[in-house]
């Protein structure tokens, strides 16, 4: 149904792909408002069912070194096949939030040192629909937010393996990503991005690496899930960090820069 709606409306992104997930979100909202009635879902909309078998927990040799001793560090965009399996296994077994599979546009990266040893991985995907502190900082209204969200990417997962002890590695990787992700996004999806966001759980982390990489802390969440449409889901409070890409006149951030 969502794909037919996209075809009927000519709803496509800059790369020519149909905006299937956006159409699904619209249909769900209309159903919640009682304006339409949707058939029962054939399966859950959560992608987790696709990735139940992550295999045995992989082990890696301890790495304790100076950052300079691991150079050149390679940040490799993950495609399909074996790299994708490695990425999913790493996040599933070593990240405290696990792996559920991103929805919509996303980029995945694996990080290797000069000896081709895996150091960690990063995942960027769709931004949160509404974040008060972020939206105030940008300075957009609801219509501008709906239009501008496609130019924001969320750092959904950032993992450095527990066996890796390298000072300043995390902020170094964020710097590498900030210099290439807009081009990577444009190559894959046909449009660039202007802003990165992430949410740091206050009870677990302080956001030190983001601060060191010149991200800006703009506030905190209200303790609601990004998928909570009825104000019923409670989650840990997180600090909101943003990083503006490119020039000083970013299209999706005009309010913040005026």
Q: What is the pLDDT along the chain (258 residues), one digit of tens a residue?
A: 777 776 777 666 655 666 776 777 677 767 766 768 778 765 544 444 444 556 667 788 899 999 999 999 999 999 988 999 999 999 999 998 888 877 789 999 999 999 999 999 999 999 999 999 999 999 999 999 999 999 999 999 999 999 999 999 999 999 999 999 999 999 999 999 999 999 999 889 889 999 999 999 999 988 765 555 555 556 789 999 999 998 544 555 555 533
Q: For residues 253 and 195, what is the distance between their CA atoms, to the nearest angstrom?
A: 8
Q: Which two structure tokens, joined as six digits, stand for 7?
A: 């075809």
Q: Are 76 and 83 in contact (CB under 8 A)?
A: yes
pTM summary value: 0.78
Q: Which two structure tokens, joined as six digits, stand for 131?
A: 């974040």
User: What's the pLDDT score for residue 48?
Assistant: 42
Q: For residues 73 and 169, what is the distance between their CA atoms, to the nearest angstrom?
A: 10
User: What's the pLDDT score for residue 50?
Assistant: 46
Domains of the chain listed by start with CATH number: 1-43 (no CATH), 55-257 (3.40.630.30)
DSSP-assigned letter for residue 32: H
């Amino acid at each position: 149904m969502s794909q037919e709606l996209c075809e009927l409306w000519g709803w496509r992104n800059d790369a020519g792909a149909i905006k299937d997930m956006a159409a699904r979100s619209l249909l769900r909202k209309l159903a919640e408002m009682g304006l339409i009635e949707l058939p029962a879902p054939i399966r859950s909309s959560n992608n987790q069912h696709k990735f139940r078998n992550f295999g045995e927990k992989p082990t890696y040799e301890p790495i304790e070194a100076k950052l300079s001793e691991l150079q050149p560090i390679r940040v490799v965009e993950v495609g399909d096949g074996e790299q994708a399996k490695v990425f999913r296994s790493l996040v599933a077994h070593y990240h405290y939030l696990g792996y559920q599979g991103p929805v919509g546009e996303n980029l995945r990266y694996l990080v290797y040192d000069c000896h081709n040893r895996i150091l960690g991985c990063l995942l960027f995907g769709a931004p949160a629909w509404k974040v008060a502190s972020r939206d105030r900082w940008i300075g957009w209204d609801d219509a501008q937010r709906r239009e501008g969200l496609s130019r924001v990417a969320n750092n959904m997962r950032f993992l450095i393996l527990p066996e890796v002890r390298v000072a300043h590695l995390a902020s170094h990787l964020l710097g590498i990503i900030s210099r290439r992700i807009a081009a990577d996004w444009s190559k894959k999806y046909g449009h660039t991005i202007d802003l990165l966001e992430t949410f740091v759980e206050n009870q677990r982390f302080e956001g030190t690496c983001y601060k060191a990489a010149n991200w800006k802390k703009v506030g905190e969440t209200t303790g609601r899930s990004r998928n909570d449409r009825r104000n019923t889901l409670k989650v840990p409070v997180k600090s909101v960090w943003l990083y503006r890409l490119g020039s000083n006149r970013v299209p999706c951030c005009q309010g913040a820069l005026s």
